[in-house]
């Protein structure tokens, strides 16, 4: 089918009419059902280190911030991975700040042990690492790598991500390198970065399609208050500023599903943070098919605050698992089994056939469970 044009994506990002948007969400949900089915996969998130060498202007882990730090031990990581199996998850995600204290061979041994002892798929989200390390980790059992580029606009990226030394970040090239190494690759963006325009976000979504991403995470911009962009005197929004709102995240998720129909799209924790009541459900109704419950041990969770007020940070893994499964079942969806990777990489595109869609009306003019009117 014909692909979405730049003008169509831009139109939908700027659309504010709730009735029109619920039609967009319904189309994305239909494409999701056709290409990835009704299973919602649970990825157990293990935040293995809060150390970071970066100075990102919004992130609570930035190196300049004085705070308690931790780095999980081998046994702590393995215990968390085993709990993922007990809870019925098919994947663990090992995430950290960009921490070079995580030595390549040490982590490789952890990966080999997880693979030898469990059926889990392993996703890494460890920032920009050397090619030799990435190659070693792939050979040791890592299946996927998540590296968010946050914005594809070079000037905006540079404004919020100071350089580390003289090197210039080129995350798009690194994503291509990861694909060549045999990883499934994931990336994503924030919506509502100060200075981000709808044109910029349109180009982000087009880049998702161009990279043929296997995973795409989209969440609202949430700056930690102890950072330059979270301070009271932080820069204000400019012309055509993208809002950091639930509506904007849902629009971006829906459009991403249409241009990347086979990708795994999480309904993110950040989305649940700005709408604790039913933000996760809205993400699933707009094209998402993944939840990422936190398996980080309780003593460390408060030390991994990229942004304040993270949803579910005080729930234990069993409680969170029960809650998420109930949410999935209430929507008439099923909990996925197995690793839940992307099965094909066939070029496939979807165009909005809006005139042929039923009319959807949201309750109270806000993102809500979608109700079809016959």
CATH of the domain at 139: 3.20.20.70
Between 128 and 366, residue with greater pLDDT: 128
Total domain count, the chain: 1
Residue 273's DSSP bridge partners are none
The alpha-helical segments, DSSP class H, found in 99-188 are 104-117, 131-139, 154-160, 171-180
Torsion of CA 337, 339, 344, 347, to 10 degrees: 100
40 lies in some domain: yes
Q: Which residue has the tokens 């649970």?
A: 42
> Do residues 282 and 246 make contact, with C-beta atoms less than 8 angstroms apart?
yes
**Domain span at residue 104?**
6-339
> How does pLDDT run across 76-106, given as a tens digit for each residue?
999 999 999 999 999 999 999 999 999 999 9
Residue 239 confidence class, pLDDT cut points 50, 70, 90: confident
171 lies in some domain: yes
Distance, CA of 373 to chain centre: 32
- Alpha-carbon gap, residue 312 to 275, rounded angstroms: 12
- The burial class, CB within 10 Å (0-12 / 13-18 / 19+), for 64 is exposed
- Alpha-carbon gap, residue 162 to 60, rounded angstroms: 15
351 lies in some domain: no
Q: What is the reported pLDDT for 212? A: 97
229 lies in some domain: yes
> How does pLDDT run across 113-151, given as a tens digit for each residue?
999 999 999 999 999 999 999 999 999 999 999 999 999
Kindly report the pTM of this predicted structure: 0.90
Query: CB under 8 Å to 174, separation ≥6 — which residues?
Result: 128, 147
154 lies in some domain: yes
121 lies in some domain: yes
361 lies in some domain: no
């Amino acid at each position: 089918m014909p692909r979405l044009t730049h003008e169509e994506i831009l139109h939908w990002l700027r659309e504010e009419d709730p009735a029109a948007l619920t039609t967009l969400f319904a189309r994305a949900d239909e494409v999701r059902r056709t290409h990835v089915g009704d299973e919602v996969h649970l990825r157990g998130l293990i935040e293995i280190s809060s150390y970071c060498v970066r100075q990102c202007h919004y992130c609570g882990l930035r190196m300049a911030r004085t705070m308690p730090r931790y780095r999980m031990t081998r046994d702590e990581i393995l215990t968390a991975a085993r709990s993922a199996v007990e809870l019925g998850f098919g994947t663990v995600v090992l995430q950290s700040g960009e921490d070079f204290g995580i030595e390549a061979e040490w982590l490789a041994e952890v990966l080999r042990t997880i693979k030898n002892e469990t059926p889990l798929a392993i996703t890494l989200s460890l920032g920009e690492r050397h090619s030799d390390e990435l190659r070693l980790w792939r050979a040791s059992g890592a299946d996927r790598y998540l590296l968010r580029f946050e914005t594809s606009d070079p000037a905006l990226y540079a404004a919020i991500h100071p350089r580390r030394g003289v090197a210039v970040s080129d995350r798009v090239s690194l994503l291509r390198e990861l694909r060549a190494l045999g990883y499934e690759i994931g990336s994503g963006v924030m919506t509502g970065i100060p200075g981000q325009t709808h044109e910029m976000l349109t180009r982000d979504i087009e880049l998702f399609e161009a990279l043929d991403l296997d995973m795409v995470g989209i969440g609202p911009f949430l700056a930690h208050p102890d950072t330059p962009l979270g301070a009271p005197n932080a820069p204000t929004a400019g012309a055509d500023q993208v809002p950091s709102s639930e509506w904007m995240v849902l629009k971006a998720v829906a459009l991403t599903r249409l241009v990347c129909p086979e990708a795994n799209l999480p309904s993110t924790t950040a989305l649940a943070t700005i709408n604790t009541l039913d933000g996760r459900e809205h993400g699933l109704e707009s094209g998402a098919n993944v939840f990422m419950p936190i398996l980080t041990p309780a003593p460390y969770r408060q030390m991994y605050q990229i942004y304040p007020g993270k949803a579910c940070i005080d729930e234990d893994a069993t409680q969170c698992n029960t809650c998420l499964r109930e949410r999935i079942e209430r929507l008439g969806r099923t909990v996925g089994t197995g690793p839940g990777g992307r099965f094909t990489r066939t070029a496939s595109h979807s165009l909005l056939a809006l005139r042929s869609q039923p009319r959807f009306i949201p309750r109270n003019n806000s993102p809500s469970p979608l109700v079809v009117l016959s």
